[in-house]
Amino acid sequence: MWYKEFLNIYKAGISHVFLFHFNVRDLADNHRNLDRYIHDEFILPRKFAAVAFYDISQGLRFMDKDMEREFSKITRNEADGLFNAAPSKLFPYLDLLLMNTRTVLFIDHADKLLPSGDVSSMSFEERSALIRICEWSVNRRISSSGSAIFLMADSLEDVNRDVLKSSYKIEPVIVNLPDEKERREYIEHLFCHLPPSQTTPGPDAETAAVMDPDKPVNISGEISKEPQLSSLLKDITPSVFAKMTSGLSRKSIRDIKLRAEAEGIPVSFDFIKEKKHSVLKKEFGDVLEFVYPEYGFESVGGMDKAKNYLIRNIVQPIRKGDLRRVPMGIMFCGPSGTGKTLLVYALAKASGFNCVRIDMSRILGQYVGESEKNFKKCLLGAKSQEPVIVFVDEIDTAFRRGENEDSGVSRNIFSEFLQFAGDASNRGKVIFVAATNRPDLLDPALKRAGRFDKKIPVLMPEEDERAVIFEIMVRKYKFETTITDYMPFAARTENYTGAEIETVVRKAYELANDDDSEGNTLTTEILHDAISRCRPVTRQIEFMTMLAVEECDDMDLLPERYASMKAQQP
């Protein structure tokens, strides 16, 4: 998709300078890096006269000697000793090349050449490069010559923002991670390959070394294919492999294969999970928390109406591929400790979606622009995991419009979140789930339909629900017990939240172990004793309950006694 976007802009004459960002170090298809792909699909058919490469560490290079000689001819040999010179000395000669010969110029690591921040803090060479590249974008002689300039950066937020000003014509193009179909095709390519004796014709050895220095090239200039290793996939299918590797690049998938080959073990569910966690933690762990739920709805006591809604409107539609019924976002409202977070993780487990948690303490930085940059990276990391559930706990404190004293940081982040959460193209792929016990503190813009379509109350458990919670907690911790009926305990724990019932059960296990007698079985006497020792501590239950009831926008999701109460309100 990134290539089509770029090509449409180029053909329309909108721009001849492009900033490719994000997944630019990955393979663009099954065997070609980004620059090789652009060379084969864009440069060769259009017969560009010169193809040059520049980055601040290696200087200027050309695809072949003829192109280098053409550069020397145009510059009258004045630039022959400047290939590794500073931009202020080299770039004026690139002007001549771009204006007089149909040229493609790749500038790699643009974020290092044009770092983000205030222009006044940039070095002379950085400012020189910034001004020159911006001027290239509006230079009509370069445009009329048919030349094109491709900047590449790992992160758009690390590139100086001046390049994106409307007065210039530098077009950013995001190179996304491969989607599920592309991952499956690449996995099939890797594990169902031709034998090593068969090769695919490639460019000459010199060109291959410039375009893709990491790719092995044999003496005839052909690129060797991977050996057939389909036996490594005996425990998992390519389709399942593709579903599990959301958020990974093709190169990361290749690393999984190479590691399995090196260790002589088949690729398994746990093997992929371990590698994926390592890659994602390294890439986005500074701004996102990755969640791997262990329990589904069977471990959630009570909340039947909420669970039924989630199953009917998220889990089942997603499995059927009907995303029209899936809400853009869901907000759980209710007192602390009632199981809002547990319900989110159970939904992630049941739907099979990835799950990430936004923690604002990881986002906020001490330097100007750092927080906004971190948040953009956070959202990009979340989207790379699609299908994904993005969980925001205590959203009433996480996102606010902010005041002037924080230099507009809160307002900028709030605006960015509103835009992303309201993007209809994410429906059924990125589901925001928020939790709050104070929905009255939320900005109305957050709560409107199209962002959080459904407000679901998660209230104090009823007596029969408390009995189920007791049983689930005993089963969750695998405690031995002689108890078969939990209703007597439910009757004694009115106004206890699910979290407080869990505390009671753990206290009972503690008492069972303190007994001098052998064994640690939970008995009726021990559990009653634990209830007597543990008192509920959740505050403002009635107040937070009424807030949740008031916020609920679907009468079908309210317990009967609250539904009748709300129906009587004017």
Q: Across the chain, which distance is largest between two alpha carbons, in Å?
A: 97
In this structure, are 34 and 69 located in the same domain?
Answer: yes
In this structure, are 157 and 238 located in the same domain?
Answer: no
Burial of residue 513 (number of CB atoms within 10 Å: 0-12, 13-18, 19+): exposed
Q: b/e string for 41-50 if b means 16 or more Cβ within 10 A?
A: ebbeeeebbb
Pairing of strands 50-55, 59-62: antiparallel
Whether 557 maps to a domain, the answer reads no
Mean pLDDT over all residues of the chain?
87
Strands (E) located in 64-180: 103-107, 148-153, 170-175
Whether 144 maps to a domain, the answer reads yes
Domain end position, chosen among 259, 283, 307: 283
In this structure, are 151 and 253 located in the same domain?
Answer: no
* DSSP letter (8 states) at residue 195: P
Whether 326 maps to a domain, the answer reads yes
The total number of structural domains in the chain stands at 4
In this structure, are 22 and 120 located in the same domain?
Answer: yes
Q: What is the mean pLDDT of residues 47-64?
A: 95
8 Å CB contact between 395 and 331: yes
147: left (phi over 0), alpha (psi -120 to 50) or beta: beta
In this structure, are 304 and 428 located in the same domain?
Answer: yes
pLDDT band at 196 (very low <50, low <70, confident <90, very high): very low
Domain end position, chosen among 283, 315, 346: 283
Helix (H, G, I), strand (E, B) or coil at 149: strand
Count of alpha carbons within 13 angstroms of residue 71, beta-carbon side: 28
Q: Tell me the Cα Rg of the chain.
A: 30
Question: Which positions ≥6 away from 92 have C-beta within 8 Å?
Answer: 132
Length in residues, the chain:
570
Whether 479 maps to a domain, the answer reads yes
524, 530, 534, 540: CA torsion to nearest 10: -20
Q: What whole-number percentage of the chain has pLDDT above 70?
A: 89
pLDDT tens-digit map of 139-152: 999 999 999 999 99
219, 225, 228, 229: CA torsion to nearest 10: 110
**C-alpha separations of 7 from 148, 221, 265 in Å:** 11, 29, 43
CATH number at residue 419: 3.40.50.300
pLDDT value at position 568? 57
In 3D space, the residue among 294, 415, 309, 313 whose CA is nearest the CA of residue 355 turns out to be: 294
pLDDT value at position 193? 56
In this structure, are 133 and 38 located in the same domain?
Answer: yes
Note if the bond before 335 is cis, omega within 30 degrees: no
Pairing of strands 430-436, 388-393: parallel
Whether 66 maps to a domain, the answer reads yes
Task: Measure the CA angle with vertex 48, ends 47 and 53; round to 5°.
Answer: 140
In this structure, are 416 and 470 located in the same domain?
Answer: no
In this predicted structure, the answer to whether residue 228 has a pLDDT above a threshold of 90 is no
C-alpha 295/C-alpha 309 separation (Å) is: 18
In this structure, are 304 and 433 located in the same domain?
Answer: yes
pLDDT band at 515 (very low <50, low <70, confident <90, very high): low
Q: What predicted TM-score, i.e. pTM, was given to this entire model? A: 0.78
Question: How many helical (H) and strand (E) elements, i.e. helices and strands, does the chain have?
Answer: 27, 14
Tokens 């699910």, located at residue: 498
In this structure, are 488 and 443 located in the same domain?
Answer: no
8 Å CB contact between 166 and 172: no
8 Å CB contact between 78 and 67: no
CATH number at residue 189: 1.10.8
pLDDT tens-digit map of 332-349: 999 988 889 999 999 999
C-alpha 63/C-alpha 161 separation (Å) is: 30
H helices present in 124-179, as ranges: 124-137, 140-145
Helix 250-263 crosses helix 269-284 at what angle (to 10 degrees)? 130
* DSSP letter (8 states) at residue 555: G
Tokens 């090593």, located at residue: 196
Whether 555 maps to a domain, the answer reads no
pLDDT tens-digit map of 494-505: 889 999 999 999
In this structure, are 256 and 339 located in the same domain?
Answer: no
Task: Measure the CA angle with vertex 208, ends 223 and 129; round to 5°.
Answer: 150
pLDDT tens-digit map of 461-501: 989 999 999 999 999 898 999 999 999 999 999 889 999 99
In this structure, are 319 and 386 located in the same domain?
Answer: yes
Whether 435 maps to a domain, the answer reads yes
In this predicted structure, the answer to whether residue 223 has a pLDDT above a threshold of 80 is no
pLDDT value at position 202? 47
CATH number at residue 38: 3.40.50
In this structure, are 294 and 419 located in the same domain?
Answer: yes
C-alpha 229/C-alpha 564 separation (Å) is: 64
Range of the domain at 43: 2-175
Whether 95 maps to a domain, the answer reads yes
Domain end position, chosen among 283, 309, 325: 283
C-alpha 339/C-alpha 445 separation (Å) is: 26
pLDDT value at position 325? 86
Q: What is the mean pLDDT of residues 274-297?
A: 88
CATH number at residue 476: 1.10.8.60
